[in-house]
Chain A
Amino acid sequence: MSEDASAIAAAVRSGEASASEVLERHLSAIEQHDGELHAFLTVLADSAREEAREIDRRVAAGEDPGPLAGVPVALKDNLCTRGVPTTCASRILEGWCPPYDATVVRRLRAAGAVVVGKTNLDEFAMGSSTENSAFGPTRNPHDPGRVPGGSSGGSAAAVAAGLVPVALGSDTGGSIRQPAALCGVVGMKPTYGTVSRYGLVAFASSLDQIGPFASSVADAVALFEAIGGHDPCDSTSLERPASMSLGRLGDGVVGLRVGVVAELLDGVDPAVAKRVREAAEVLAAAGASVEECSIPEVAYALPAYYLLAPAEASSNLARYDGVRYGLRVDASSAEAMNGATRAKGFGPEVKRRIMLGTYALSAGYYDAYYGQAQKVRTLIIEAFKRAYENADVLLGATTPTTAFEIGSKVDDPLAMYLSDVCTVPSNLSGDPAITVPFGTDDLGLPVGVQVLAPALQETTMFQAATVVEDAAPPVPTPRIGADATDGGERAAGGERAAGGRGR
């Protein structure tokens, strides 16, 4: 199956297909495969059927339901959905039903999309494997013994397995791009401020950004177009809309200056680095001028990130105090109630990050840790600006390795944090970045290549990503999912062409 969102929308708008039959196909794929995959925390079959019927009614009445007409979409479960549980994969929010929809959810529905469910994540989006979910891990469709990445692992796995054509995630330090790379799909972090964060449960507010998962660059663009734009409900939302014209997606890269960043290949698994160099050759062959470059400050992004993000998290998560919503553990005083509630409601990684952030902000350490990390962030922003004087886009690995085995890093937080080494720089700089699947390693596990661009230059980034996608070596059909053959073995000749889909 693995239908393109663009193809579904075209068929539904023209009346060739009904949104209801598209939805039923995806619901049965979820029914059949999600027991093994555990990509979803909530499947909204009833409300999705109602939404699909409404789309079909509007098409029958001669109306256009919008550019995503009848496209089934999954939402990471840290995006607020009115009257529908939004757990952040945490016991502290179990059963909580938000009183409002996130702006991105309203915009998806306004574009005609059908919300089919909420996907699994690392608790409060803190993690790189989806093992930190209070409701159990998600499995990688390519190898159920391995992680899908994280924190948006449920959304990545759902798209990779063909359970939905597209999904939304959030990316604070790579939480869209890292799982997309590990699952063999496209994942994009937009420029900070281009997509409203209203209704995204806050982790680290100066870094968080919502973005799309898709099986093609074109579908990621369609989703980004639908959710982007100014929103008065988010004070960090940019007045200037993100501009992208789908018609310019195939314009190519003749004359484009591409910088291959040495620091985004340092320490990267040789099989992954090899794919990045092949992608650079693809861009050069397509007419881009490709040069190696070095941004030494990028090497300091990870240590800075693991001070700044926990510091912001320790402040943002202070709201889970057992007073206004979520879990409360009763005690004789308010302070005892707070401490007992948070002890029971938060999982180990969230406690660890809150502790880390609280320490980094505490008296005596604030300047040396948080203050210094903030200044390093400024140096990283300036370093990227300098790099973009000589390059239009930058290229690097998305992840230092392909998907690792479930359980292999849970006892070593620092080893887990190192999974984010190639993705955190773009969160610190606020610039956009996208990962495109580009073949596999020697084990047949998907590899992602990352294209980075200056703030608001999404159009150029998408054009370069499209050239890379069109020439990408194939990624095998996942073992679990709508396209998988029975028996769990990879089908011979079952590879799907990665290039040129959906346009």
Chain B
Amino acid sequence: MAGDEDISGAGARLTREDAAYVARLARIDLTDEELDLYAGQLAAVLEHAAQVAALATAGVEPPAHPLPLRNVLRDDEVRPSLDREEVLGQAPAVEDGRFSVPPILGEVP
């Protein structure tokens, strides 16, 4: 269905609210000033990017990778892995040998 949406001028219509929606999807807290800045800059880049709509792509398959690749499988055998203490040593917060995070669903930990 690619190309069905008319994306010419879509970037120009990018508002602060659109930018705020995208920032929330991307989990980045942005200030109003940043939202205005990025809305304008993304609009300019999207206007340029909309050129891709000019090429006819009916029946064209998207590639996953530039060269043909096969799935890589290996035997399910136990092998050495990274040292747990060394890995956890890089974490901002650790508890009982696990990564520790603030409440996810608002529950009391």
Interface residues of A (CB under 8 A from B): 96-97, 99-100, 191-193, 206, 232, 235-236, 238, 297, 300, 302-304, 306-307, 314, 318, 321-328, 330-340, 342-343, 346, 351-352, 354-356, 358-360, 362, 364-365, 367-369, 371-379, 381, 413-414, 417, 428-431, 455
Is there an interface contact between B42 and A356, defined as CB atoms closer than 8 Å?
A: yes
Within 8 Å by CB of A359, from B2, B24, B46, lies B46
Residue in B closest to A342 when the chains form the complex, CB atoms = B28
1/0 per residue, CB under 8 A from A, across B77-102: the answer is 00000110011001111000001011
Within 8 Å by CB of B90, from A97, A192, A304, A428, lies A97
Is there an interface contact between B66 and A428, defined as CB atoms closer than 8 Å?
A: yes
Count, chain B residues at interface, CB 8 A: 59
22 contacts between A and B (CB under 8 A): A99-B87, A302-B48, A323-B92, A324-B99, A332-B103, A337-B102, A339-B29, A342-B27, A355-B28, A356-B42, A359-B22, A367-B3, A368-B10, A368-B53, A369-B46, A372-B52, A375-B62, A376-B52, A377-B62, A414-B48, A417-B48, A430-B67
Is there an interface contact between B49 and A324, defined as CB atoms closer than 8 Å?
A: no
Alpha-carbon separation in the docked complex, A96 to B91 (Å): 9
Whether A324 touches B52, Cβ cut-off 8 Å, given contacts A192-B66, A235-B72, A378-B63, is no
Rounded to whole Å, the gap between the CB of B34 and the closest CB of chain A is 7
Residue in A closest to B60 when the chains form the complex, CB atoms = A375
A306 partner residues in chain B, CB cutoff 8 A: 45, 48-49
Residue in A closest to B30 when the chains form the complex, CB atoms = A343
Rounded to whole Å, the gap between the CB of A478 and the closest CB of chain B is 34
Is there an interface contact between B65 and A192, defined as CB atoms closer than 8 Å?
A: yes
Interface residues of B (CB under 8 A from A): 1-5, 7, 10, 18-19, 22-30, 34, 38, 41-42, 44-46, 48-55, 57, 60-67, 69, 72, 74, 82-83, 86-87, 90-93, 99, 101-104, 106
B4 partner residues in chain A, CB cutoff 8 A: 367-368
Within 8 Å by CB of B51, from A300, A321, A355, A358, lies A300
B83 partner residues in chain A, CB cutoff 8 A: 99
Within 8 Å by CB of A300, from B52, B65, B106, lies B52
Is there an interface contact between A325 and B90, defined as CB atoms closer than 8 Å?
A: yes
Residue in A closest to B44 when the chains form the complex, CB atoms = A414
Rounded to whole Å, the gap between the CB of A332 and the closest CB of chain B is 6
Is there an interface contact between B45 and A414, defined as CB atoms closer than 8 Å?
A: yes
Is there an interface contact between B42 and A334, defined as CB atoms closer than 8 Å?
A: no
* B interface majority secondary structure: loop
Whether A358 touches B26, Cβ cut-off 8 Å, given contacts A334-B101, A368-B4, A376-B52, is yes
Further 15 A-B residue pairs, CB within 8 A, beyond A335-B27, A414-B44 = A192-B65, A297-B55, A300-B51, A303-B50, A321-B27, A326-B92, A359-B22, A362-B25, A368-B3, A372-B2, A375-B55, A379-B57, A381-B66, A431-B66, A455-B67
Rounded to whole Å, the gap between the CB of A197 and the closest CB of chain B is 12
B38 partner residues in chain A, CB cutoff 8 A: 351-352, 355
Alpha-carbon separation in the docked complex, A265 to B42 (Å): 27
Alpha-carbon separation in the docked complex, A242 to B77 (Å): 29
Rounded to whole Å, the gap between the CB of A308 and the closest CB of chain B is 10
Is there an interface contact between A354 and B62, defined as CB atoms closer than 8 Å?
A: no
- Residue from A99, A232, A417 having most chain B Cβ neighbours under 10 A: A99
A355 partner residues in chain B, CB cutoff 8 A: 19, 22-23, 26, 28, 38, 42
Alpha-carbon separation in the docked complex, A373 to B44 (Å): 17
Is there an interface contact between A372 and B42, defined as CB atoms closer than 8 Å?
A: no
Whether A307 touches B52, Cβ cut-off 8 Å, given contacts A356-B45, A430-B65, is yes
Within 8 Å by CB of B5, from A351, A364, A373, lies A364
Within 8 Å by CB of A367, from B5, B28, B101, lies B5
Rounded to whole Å, the gap between the CB of B97 and the closest CB of chain A is 13
Whether A378 touches B60, Cβ cut-off 8 Å, given contacts A232-B74, A367-B4, is yes
Within 8 Å by CB of A365, from B5, B34, B41, B86, lies B5
Alpha-carbon separation in the docked complex, A368 to B29 (Å): 27
Residue in B closest to A335 when the chains form the complex, CB atoms = B27
Is there an interface contact between A303 and B1, defined as CB atoms closer than 8 Å?
A: no
